[in-house]
Structure 1
Amino acid sequence: MSQVDTQAQTAVSLPRIGDDAPQFEVNTTQGPVSLSDYKGKWLLLFSHPADFTPVCTTELIGFQNIYPRLKEKNTELLGLSVDSVQSHIAWVRNIEEKSGVRIEYPIIADSSRQVATQYGMIHPNESQTETNRAVFVIDDQQKIRAIIYYPLTTGRNLDEIERLVTALQTTTNEQVPTPADWTPGDQVVVPPPKTQQEAEERLKDESIDITDWYLSKKNL
Structure 2
Amino acid sequence: GAATRMSGAIISQGSLVVESSVKKVQHPSGGVAKKLLVEDGARVAKDDLLILMDETVAQANLTAVTKSLWELEARRARLQAERDGDAEIVFPDSVASLSDPAAQAVVSGERRFFQLRKDANDGQKQQLKEQIAQLKEQIGGMQDQLSAKKQEADLIANELTGVQQLWEQRLVSLSRLSALQRDSARLLGERGQLTASIAQAKGKISETELKILQVDQDFRS
Q: TM-score, normalised by structure 1?
A: 0.21
| Structure having the higher Rg | 2
Looking at both structures, which has the greater relative contact order when contacts are Cα pairs under 8 Å and sequence separation is at least 6? 1
Q: TM-score, normalised by structure 2?
A: 0.21
Hey, which of these two has a bigger chunk of strand by percent?
1
